[in-house]
């Protein structure tokens, strides 16, 4: 039987904050299918993960532009206009975060995010200041789904993995957390998350 949940851990991009390269690249392509084809061609998500792990955007653009010179301008456009990949916070999910805090749960953040770009939004999203602990991949130079970043967070908090509920939109991150003993919710929507939290009698 699972241990009683004592703390909640939220991912940021895709869960609390609406981040997607589609938000930025919609100004450069005709439709989502064209964006997806481009992202796949340049192996965007693997490339971007290295910035989340601490690589500078200047180095990243140089490396990827050398590999895909035909897309150099589009690659540079992501670095130059990164802020346009963010469209705001997911209000309904943030409301759930505050309801959990009101119930007395410590709420933590565990996010793959570049330390170079995070300061651009840190002031905009006031809920970030109300989190009890934040572990940012770019700051610690470790990323999900690698187990090291989960162990790093656990070293910073009093709860065990088994006492934490981890919420993330990435299935790979969820599976990694489960292997380490975390209780998990694979995020798909605010409504589904709310229902799950109610079923677990956390709300």
Predicted confidence pLDDT, tens digits, the chain (203 residues): 677 999 999 999 999 999 999 999 999 999 999 999 999 999 999 999 999 999 999 999 999 999 999 999 999 999 999 999 999 999 999 999 999 999 999 999 999 999 999 999 988 898 999 999 999 999 999 999 999 999 999 999 999 999 999 999 999 999 999 999 999 999 999 999 999 999 999 99
pTM above 0.85, yes or no: yes
Task: Tell me, yes or no, whether 1 lies in a domain.
Answer: no
Contact 203, 46 (CB under 8 A): no
Task: Tell me, yes or no, whether 114 lies in a domain.
Answer: yes
Range of the domain at 192: 7-16+90-199
Nearest-angstrom CA–CA distance, 49 and 113: 8
Asked whether residue 64 falls in the same domain as residue 140, the answer is no
Tell me how many domains the chain contains: 2
Neighbours of 8 (CB within 10 A): 25
Asked whether residue 188 falls in the same domain as residue 157, the answer is yes
Domain limit, last residue, from 85, 114, 138: 85
Domain limit, last residue, from 58, 85, 112: 85
Rg (CA), the chain: 18
Domain limit, last residue, from 38, 58, 85: 85
Asked whether residue 103 falls in the same domain as residue 79, the answer is no
Nearest-angstrom CA–CA distance, 69 and 65: 5
Q: Which residues contact 61 (CB under 8 A, 6 or more apart)?
A: 75, 76, 79
């Amino acid at each position: 039987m699972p241990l009683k949940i004592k703390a909640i851990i939220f991912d940021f991009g895709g869960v609390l904050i609406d981040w997607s390269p589609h938000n930025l690249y919609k100004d450069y392509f005709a439709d989502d299918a064209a964006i997806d084809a481009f992202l796949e061609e340049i192996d965007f998500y693997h490339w971007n993960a290295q910035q989340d792990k601490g690589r500078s955007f200047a180095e990243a653009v140089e490396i990827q532009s050398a590999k895909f010179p035909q897309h150099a301008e589009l690659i540079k456009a992501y670095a130059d206009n990164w802020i346009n990949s963010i469209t705001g916070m997911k209000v309904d999910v943030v409301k759930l975060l505050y309801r959990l805090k009101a119930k007395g749960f410590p709420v933590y953040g565990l996010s793959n995010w570049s330390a170079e770009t995070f300061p651009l939004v840190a002031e905009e999203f006031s809920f970030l200041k109300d989190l009890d602990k934040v572990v940012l991949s770019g700051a610690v130079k470790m990323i999900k789904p690698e187990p090291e970043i989960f162990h790093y967070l656990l070293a910073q908090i009093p709860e065990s993995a088994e006492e934490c509920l981890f919420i993330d939109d990435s299935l790979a991150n969820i599976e990694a957390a489960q292997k380490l003993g975390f209780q998990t919710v694979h995020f798909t929507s605010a409504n589904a998350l709310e229902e799950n939290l109610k079923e677990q009698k956390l709300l």
